[in-house]
């Protein structure tokens, strides 16, 4: 026992959920709708995208003294993520010679408040990679097992897109996609010549209303600021707030989970101990079922920190697999400038928050020197000028003569320089590959034996290296990006990333798609959870974030987190009804 006073609540909840992001939000929503009494612990503060005191949406850059610069928020002053890769007093470490960056949002809804809303289903192949090429592992479930839940999530939350009949990029229940922006039409035209498919993106943004609680997109392009009309998917607005409205959900904010508590006799989870970060007191909340949904990293940390005589290696870790196989999406990017877009006509081109078209993986890895695919996300257009606007013009303006054919020297000043800023506005495109890594036993997170955070909770230490599989994939991305930029009539900016920089492959964690730290499987010796995301070792302990992922596909994780969480929640409800929980 901890040697200071612990305040224990007398209430025993049906379910205690740690984390209020996509996974925790969906579990809270499903379980409270089913009548369960649920307590949700959120490490950060309350947040509601519609409450004026939190709103950054539609604010102009001059309302910020730093004009939207990223001094305090990693993605800029208006971004709806309280937290980031570095949080004061909440460190993590890496083993020597390895790198990992861990992004955390401390707020109701977690990272869903600012995410890209890219809502891709995994395809049938994504669950069976080992069967296809012998690398990695198969999931214990297949596409058909999760499909009904993807369908449910599509209809409940809303996603736009188009049914294309692609085998590994499955169709869904889509709202109409927004029309392409100018550079997106140009990309579709030029990519077609390269045989690179460029189709409407699939984003959880409401181009049509789905219910009376949520509004419709009004095309401000600012989903990263979270939508005051609830027209995009944030767990705060779409799941947590409705769950609280049932009257069955008790949300505790500023609750930093320390350990999952267990009964030494039965080995079952009995609740969660946490630090009330406002008063710095230790508290306990009791529950008949515990669901971990505080992110793949926090789930591993909690399990490994929940040690007892019965569970000396940490909870649900008889396999020793907790923390193993952590993997983030690969990411590499490139930008270009399109002279045909110089001096372009102005109109409001904000559109939705993010790209209107994307490129799903289109090649056969059997014919390539790397085993997994990637998709391409595109950016560009006449976005809102803010901090950083025009930065680096001294590398651009000498290269392109004016309409009148006047060649200028790099840099400069005065009215002529103002002309340059106007000329180049909206003429840039950029693209980013997001790919699938091969999960590796030797990439892991563990408890650092020497370091605690400001709450006294031992912190994670990461050990992560990219392999040739990912590096070769990044090389392919860079070759493809140059082809795309050339074909559209553009000029790539900066040097082409080469072997020295792993072809621009982002350091692990930078893409913020970390998954796989408590993977599912049929064999309790090689997995932490069974096919229902239930711990092999502790039957009333479940995981509803991305920790159960066996692999992550070349898709973003959120839609699968939501579908799996809904599936796990329904399993819990069924088991409760049967009396087996």
Partner 1 sequence: MKKRDFLKNIGLSSLGLAVVSQDALAGEMLDGPKPKPKAAAAPTTTPKYNYGRTKDEMARDAKLLAEKFYTDHEMKTITVLSDIIIPADKFSGSASQAGVPAFIEFITKDKPEFKTPMRGGLRWLDSTAIKRFGKDFVACTAKEQINIVDDIAYPEQAKKEFSQGVNFFTLMRNLTASGFYSSEMGHKDMDYQGNRPNNWEGVPDDVLKQYGLSYS
Give residues 393-412 in contact with partner 1 (rule: CB under 8 A). Answer: 393-394, 398, 409-412
Q: Which of 45, 95, 365, 531 binds partner 1 (CB under 8 A)?
A: 45
**Contact string 150-189 vs partner 1 (x = CB under 8 A):** ----------------------------xxxxx--xx--x
CB of 169 to partner 1, least distance (A): 23
Nearest one of 229, 184, 224, 207 to 384, comparing CA atoms = 224
Total residues contacting partner 1 (rule CB under 8 A)? Answer: 84
User: How far apart are the C-alpha atoms of 51 and 498, rounded to whole Å?
Assistant: 46
**CB burial readout 192-226, b (16+ within 10 A) else e:** eeeebbbbbbbbbbbbebbeeebebbebbbbbbbb
Q: Which of 421, 442, 496, 577 binds partner 1 (CB under 8 A)?
A: 421
Determine if 539 is a binding residue for partner 1 (CB under 8 A): no
Determine if 48 is a binding residue for partner 1 (CB under 8 A): yes
Tokens 């692990």, residue located:
508
> Of the ranges 41-49, 129-137, 165-173, 320-328, which one interacts with partner 1 (CB under 8 A)?
41-49
CB 497 within 8 A of CB 325: no
CB of 67 to partner 1, least distance (A): 4
Phi-psi map region of 553: left, alpha, beta (phi>0 left; psi -120 to 50 alpha): left
CB 564 within 8 A of CB 146: yes
Helix (H) or strand (E) holding 480: helix 468-487
CB of 513 to partner 1, least distance (A): 25
Nearer to partner 1, 171 or 394 (CB): 394
Query: Alpha carbon of 23 to those of 145, 294, 305, 564, 566: distances in Å?
Result: 18, 8, 21, 8, 8
**Contact string 240-269 vs partner 1 (x = CB under 8 A):** -------------x----------------
Determine if 347 is a binding residue for partner 1 (CB under 8 A): yes
CB of 34 to partner 1, least distance (A): 25
The single-letter DSSP state of residue 239 is: I
Q: Which of 383, 430, 482, 575 binds partner 1 (CB under 8 A)?
A: 383
Q: Which of 6, 280, 368, 384 binds partner 1 (CB under 8 A)?
A: 384
- The interface with partner 1 within residues 64-93 (CB under 8 A) comprises 64-69, 71-72, 77-78, 82
Phi-psi map region of 329: left, alpha, beta (phi>0 left; psi -120 to 50 alpha): beta
User: How far apart are the C-alpha atoms of 572 and 331, rounded to whole Å?
Assistant: 36
Q: Which of 218, 400, 455, 571 binds partner 1 (CB under 8 A)?
A: 218
Determine if 385 is a binding residue for partner 1 (CB under 8 A): yes
**Reduced 3-state DSSP string for 295-339:** CHHHHHHHHHHCCCCCCCCCCCCCCCCCCECCECCEEEEEEEECH
CB of 217 to partner 1, least distance (A): 8
CB of 116 to partner 1, least distance (A): 18
Determine if 452 is a binding residue for partner 1 (CB under 8 A): no
């Amino acid at each position: 026992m901890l040697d200071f006073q612990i305040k224990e609540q007398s209430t025993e909840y049906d379910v205690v959920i740690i984390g209020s992001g996509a996974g925790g939000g969906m579990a809270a929503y499903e379980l409270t709708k089913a009548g369960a009494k649920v307590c949700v612990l959120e490490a950060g503060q309350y947040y509601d995208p519609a409450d004026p005191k939190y709103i950054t949406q539609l604010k102009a850059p001059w309302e910020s003294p730093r004009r939207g610069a990223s001094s305090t928020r990693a993605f800029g002053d208006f971004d709806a993520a309280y937290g980031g890769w570095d949080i004061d007093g909440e460190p993590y470490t890496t083993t020597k010679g390895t790198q990992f960056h861990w992004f955390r949002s401390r707020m109701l809804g977690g990272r869903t408040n600012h995410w890209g809303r890219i809502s891709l289903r995994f395809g049938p192949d994504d669950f069976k990679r080992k069967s296809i090429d012998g690398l990695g592992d198969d999931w214990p479930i297949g596409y058909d097992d999760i499909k009904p839940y993807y369908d449910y999530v599509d209809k409940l939350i809303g996603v736009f897109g188009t049914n294309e009949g692609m085998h590994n990029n499955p169709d869904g229940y889509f709202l109409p996609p927004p029309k392409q922006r100018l550079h997106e039409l140009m990309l579709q035209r030029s990519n077609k010549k390269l045989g690179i498919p460029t189709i409407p993106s699939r984003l959880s943004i409401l181009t049509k209303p789905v219910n009376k609680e949520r509004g419709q997109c009004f095309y401000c392009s600012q989903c990263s600021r979270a939508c005051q009309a609830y027209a995009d998917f944030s767990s705060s607005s779409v799941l947590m707030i409705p769950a609280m409205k049932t009257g069955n959900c008790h949300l505790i904010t500023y609750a930093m989970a320390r350990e999952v508590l267990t009964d030494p006799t039965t080995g079952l989870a009995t609740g969660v101990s946490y630090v009330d970060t406002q008063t710095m007191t230790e508290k306990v909340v009791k529950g008949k079922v515990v669901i971990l949904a505080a992110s793949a990293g926090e789930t591993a940390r909690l399990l490994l920190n929940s040690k007892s005589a019965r569970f000396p290696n940490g909870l649900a870790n008889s396999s020793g697999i907790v923390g193993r196989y952590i993997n983030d999406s690969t990411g590499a990017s490139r930008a270009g400038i399109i002279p045909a877009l110089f001096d372009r006509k102005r109109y409001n081109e904000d559109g939705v928050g993010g790209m209107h078209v994307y490129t799903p993986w289109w090649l056969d890895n059997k014919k390539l020197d790397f085993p997994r695919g990637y998709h391409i996300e595109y950016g560009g257009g006449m976005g809102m000028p803010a901090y950083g606007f025009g930065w680096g013009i001294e590398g651009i303006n000498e290269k392109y003569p004016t309409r009148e054919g006047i060649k200028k020297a790099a840099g400069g000043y005065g009215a002529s320089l103002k002309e340059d800023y106007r000329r180049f506005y909206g003429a840039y495109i950029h693209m980013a590959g997001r790919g699938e890594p091969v999960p590796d036993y030797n990439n892991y997170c563990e408890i650092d034996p020497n370091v605690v955070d400001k709450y006294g909770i031992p912190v994670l230490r990461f050990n992560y290296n990219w392999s040739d599989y990912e590096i070769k994939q990044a090389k392919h991305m860079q070759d493809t990006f140059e082809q795309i930029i050339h074909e559209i009539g553009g000029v790539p900016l900066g040097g082409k990333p080469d072997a020295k920089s792993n072809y621009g492959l982002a350091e692990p964690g930078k893409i913020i798609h970390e998954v796989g730290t408590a993977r599912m499987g049929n064999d309790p010796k090689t997995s932490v959870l069974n096919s229902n995301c239930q711990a092999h070792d502790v039957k009333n302990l479940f995981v509803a974030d991305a920790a159960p992922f066996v692999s992550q596909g070349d898709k973003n994780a959120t839609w699968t987190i939501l579908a799996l969480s809904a599936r796990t929640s329904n399993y819990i409800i069924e088991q409760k009804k049967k009396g087996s929980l």
